[in-house]
Amino acid sequence: TGGHTTEILRLLSCLSESYSPRHYVLADSDKMSEAKIRSFEQKRAETFSKSQFTLDRIPRSREVRQSWISSVVTTLYSILYSLPLTCKRKPDLILCNGPGTCVPVCLSAFLLGLLRIKRTIIVYVESICRVETLSLSGKILYYFSDYFIVQWPDLKKKYPKSVYLGRIV
């Protein structure tokens, strides 16, 4: 919600029209991001007439201030909900930047790859505000992503698998 959505839309604004259709996955309780995405896509359609997108909702894997124990249960539920969605959409690429909602989707896609159903490239971009430590999503997806992008040199030093490109959002 909010900051993550703004960052990912900035990244998407640089993509060519060949990245279509785009499938957005939102937490079912996220109302603000949907409006931002629709506005972004409406403006994009003015430039790229064949622009296509979908919006899908999944249960939120973790609420702010939710206990760690209960978040394991809600994340597992969200993964179970994400599996059929990921199977249906069969994405070639997942581009994500940190909200907890991306973890179940990425883990579902990773599982589909392990089962040889569909191989999906997972690109994780750590938020610009993460200067010294990774977010919880980043700590999890560091091990599952194909490309893990950080925006600060100190994070590159701490996480050697990461790719440092400077500020990209």
Domain segments of the chain as ranges: 2-164
C-alpha–C-alpha distance, residues 97 and 142, integer Å: 12
CATH 3.40.50 applies to domain 2-164: yes
Please choose, from the candidates 89, 90, 145, the residue with its C-alpha nearest in 3D space to the C-alpha of residue 117: 90
pLDDT at residue 1 is higher than 80: no
Give, as one character, the DSSP assignment of residue 141: H
Give, as one character, the DSSP assignment of residue 155: H
Reported as a pLDDT band with limits 50, 70 and 90, residue 166 is: confident
User: CB under 8 Å to 45, separation ≥6 — which residues?
Assistant: 51
Beta partners for residue 121, in sequence order: 93
Q: What percent of the chain has pLDDT over 70?
A: 99
Kindly report, residue by residue over 125-159, the tens digit of the pLDDT.
998 889 899 998 999 999 999 999 999 999 999 99
Average pLDDT over residues 103-130: 95
